[in-house]
Amino acid sequence: MSDEHDLQALWKMETTDGRTVDAVDIASSLACHTNRQFLTVKLFLWIGLGILGVTFALDVANTFGYWGGGAIWFVQVGMALLAVVFTVYGICLLADIEKLERADENLLERLRRLRRIFRRRVEIWNLMWAASVPLMIFAINSAVDNQNGHFQINRPGLFTAIQIASFIFIYAVTRIGQYPLVSEIKILMAELERGNGEEIATLPARRRRWRFWFAVLCVVLISLLLWAAWQTWILAH
């Protein structure tokens, strides 16, 4: 039975009777919708690109606003450049994911693209996206301060702590949000590359872990919201 010809002869006997569908059924199937495969990552990308767009616009406005303002002018220019670099990176990543969704590359090329995107590029983008929110907040503050006449950081220590905290928090939210998709893709890649299907068995435990961290995140977010509402109420009264 080792002869290839025998195997091919046997394979030819595999019929698709009972499964054959007519042209009308094929046409009606095309009206169905299916979920895009990499929706979570693309969603974070689109939101990130939106934030970077706003940041860039504010930074450009601020470079005019702080014209001749010394160090703060250079900071605004640097931030605008950073926003451009992050945006270009995000757009390239988005294009790469679109190519992945078309699924018309050869199998190994697609696997390489999957590896490149999910082992490296998405990880780098997560850092950029986490940095983009503090960048935008800083750009907004700078614009408001410019309206008031001058830029000033009243409490540098607190300011730095808030920036770092928001970076870490957004990074954690992103990682937790993307975890189901990214872990599935990594397991799939391990199986495709090394024929290692054992990791699939770890998926239920991973999901349970994810649900736990997602719940923790929700509690933290709700607590922060309540705290902010409480502080606002105290200030108002």
Partner 1 sequence: MKDSRQATELRDTFVASIHQVQGILHRICSLYTWTPEERQDLWQEILLQLWRTYPTFRGHSQFSTWLYRVALNTALMHRRSRMRRNPTMSIDEIEPPAAPENMSGSEHGVRLLTGSIRELEQLDRAVILLRLEEKSYQEIAEITGLSEGAVSLRLVRIREKLRKALASKGYSGENYVG
In the complex, the residues that contact partner 1 under the rule CB under 8 A are: 1-4, 6-11, 13-14, 16, 19-23, 26-27, 29-30, 32-34, 37, 102-110, 180, 184-185, 187-188, 191-192, 195, 200-201, 203-204
Sign of CA dihedral 8, 13, 18, 20: positive
CA distance 185 to 54: 32
To partner 1, the closest distance from the beta carbon of 180 in angstroms equals 8
Q: Residue 29 or 148: which CB sits closer to partner 1?
A: 29
Q: Residue 15 or 152: which CB sits closer to partner 1?
A: 15
To partner 1, the closest distance from the beta carbon of 41 in angstroms equals 13
Q: Which residue has the tokens 């996206």?
A: 129
DSSP letter (8 states) at residue 64 = H
To partner 1, the closest distance from the beta carbon of 232 in angstroms equals 41
To partner 1, the closest distance from the beta carbon of 115 in angstroms equals 13
Classify 8 as helix, strand or coil.
helix
Q: Residue 2 or 152: which CB sits closer to partner 1?
A: 2
Q: Which residue has the tokens 């670099």?
A: 85
CA distance 77 to 62: 9
